Amino acid sequence: MQLIDGKKISSDILDEIMIQVKELQARGKKVPHLATVLVGDDGASQTYVAAKVKACERVGFESTLVRLPESTSEQELLEKVNELNANSAIDAYIVQMPLPKHINEQKIIESIFPQKDVDGFHPQNVGKMALNLPTYLPATPYGIIQLLKRYNISTEGKHCVVIGRSNIVGSPMSILMARNSNPGNCTVTLCHSKTVNLKEHTLLADIIIIALGRPEFLTANMVKQGAVVIDVGITRVASAQTKSGFKLLGDVKFDEVAPKCSYITPVPGGVGPMTIASLLMNTLLAVNSKN
Ligand code: NAP
């Protein structure tokens, strides 16, 4: 069994981006500028946004954090989005999800300029992804593709079972694994809460990608010997053993599943660190496609 080290791969990618930023500067070009809009004070979102700002600093990007109060109306947020669309100094931006309940997320996503939508959530970018045209891939699936690529994990002709069909992880992941590309070229089964007898599917899988948010859901008796297991789930659970009083659990019962796997991602330190690296890769793409 080989552990897939997302922390290391993400750090390698940030180093590669830093070199490219230095090259841009050497050619007299402006450095990439990524903005993030954060509405309200959701704890997880604040942590995530702070990590993005830090990663921008590390690679030499400019970054702007736009903080808006929880009470911001949909109209006010749309005005901010229009401002960012029109601001030529900002190459790319994201609106941190989830948004407060009174704001229609889809409406906001559709108002972002597709050229600046480095989250890859705009329907135009999702369509391009499905058609295998150049575009921004959604950050978490893009990160998983990078892990498979950089560990030289063969995917062609393999049976991949994706569990979970969210717009940000499961659904795009199933599209990417089925595309005619490398990694890709899998035969894909997409499972969700209405799937009958999930175990019958997972036992046939060469590659399992699980994104549920249900701690330790995937157990050893659901996994074929030698399978590749990618665990996207991150759930914070109370723990008496840690100083902080909590620990992070993935969707895989790691201790019993790992010995059966050829490759497996840990939680934390697997898929998690890749998401920000992917976002910065997309931001660099936004700049390079203008140059
Ligand atoms: P989500 O929107 O809640 O979607 C969960 C999916 O799981 C849904 O499609 C649901 O099916 C399916 N599901 C629920 N119970 C099931 C069951 N018993 N059997 C089969 N399918 C079932 O979740 P998400 O946003 O994709 O996130 C999933 C997990 O990944 C969370 O723990 C999240 O924190 C984590 N995550 C991590 C990263 C990262 O590492 N950077 C990024 C994003 C998400 P239905 O569609 O039928 O309801």
The pLDDT tens digits for 203-225 are 999 999 999 999 999 999 999 99
> Can you give the residue ranges of every domain in the chain?
28-114, 139-273
Q: Which of 91, 117, 119, 231 is catalytic?
A: 119
Tell me the two tokens of residue 75.
Answer: 């109209």
Superfamily of domain 28-114: Leucine Dehydrogenase, chain A, domain 1 (3.40.50.10860)
Q: How many CA atoms lie within 13 A of 131 on its CB side?
A: 9
d(CA 110, CA 206): 36
Question: Letter for the amino acid at 99?
Answer: L
Tell me the CA–centroid distance for residue 166 and ligand 1, in Å. Answer: 6
Per-residue pLDDT tens digits for 85-95: 999 999 999 99
**Taken in order 278, 63, 124, 79, is the CA torsion positive or negative?**
positive
Residue 15 designated active-site: no
- Cβ atoms of 32 and 284 within 8 Å: the answer is yes
Q: Is 119 a catalytic residue?
A: yes
The list of the chain residues with pLDDT below 70 reads: none
- 92-95/187-191 β-pairing: unpaired
Q: Does residue 157 sit in helix, strand or coil?
A: coil
Residues 6 or more apart in contact with residue 38 via CB below 8 angstroms: 45, 46, 49, 65, 66, 67, 68, 96
Beta bridge partners of 188: 160
pLDDT reported for residue 59: 98
- End-to-end Cα separation, the chain, in angstroms: 43
Please tell me the distance between residue 138's alpha carbon and the centre of ligand 1 in angstroms: 15
Query: Atom 22 in ligand 1: which residue has the minimum CA distance?
Result: 193
Catalytic residue among 52, 80, 158, 253: 52
pLDDT value at residue 283: 98
Taking the C-alpha atoms of residue 278 and residue 264, their distance in angstroms, rounded to an integer, is 20
Q: What is the pLDDT of residues 235-273, one digit of tens each?
A: 999 999 999 899 999 999 999 999 999 999 999 999 999
> Which residues contact residue 59 at a Cβ distance below 8 angstroms, ignoring those fewer than 6 apart?
14, 17, 18, 21, 280
Angle at 253 between CA 247 and CA 255, to 5 degrees: 90
Within a 10 A sphere around the Cβ of 201, how many other Cβ atoms?
Answer: 18
Determine the pLDDT at residue 44: 87
Protein residues whose CB sits closer than 6 Å to any atom of ligand 1? 140, 163-166, 168-170, 191-195, 198, 211-214, 232-235, 271-272, 275
Examine the residue annotation and report whether 7 is marked as an active-site residue of this protein.
no
* Cα(14)–Cα(20) distance, integer angstroms: 10
Instruction: Tell me how far the alpha carbon of residue 206 is from its chain's centroid.
Output: 22
Q: Whole-model pTM?
A: 0.97
Domain 139-273 belongs to what architecture?
3-Layer(aba) Sandwich (3.40)
Any idea what the Cα angle at residue 244 is, between residues 241 and 248, rounded to 5°?
Answer: 75
Q: What pLDDT score was predicted for residue 290?
A: 81
Catalytic residue among 5, 96, 146, 231: 96
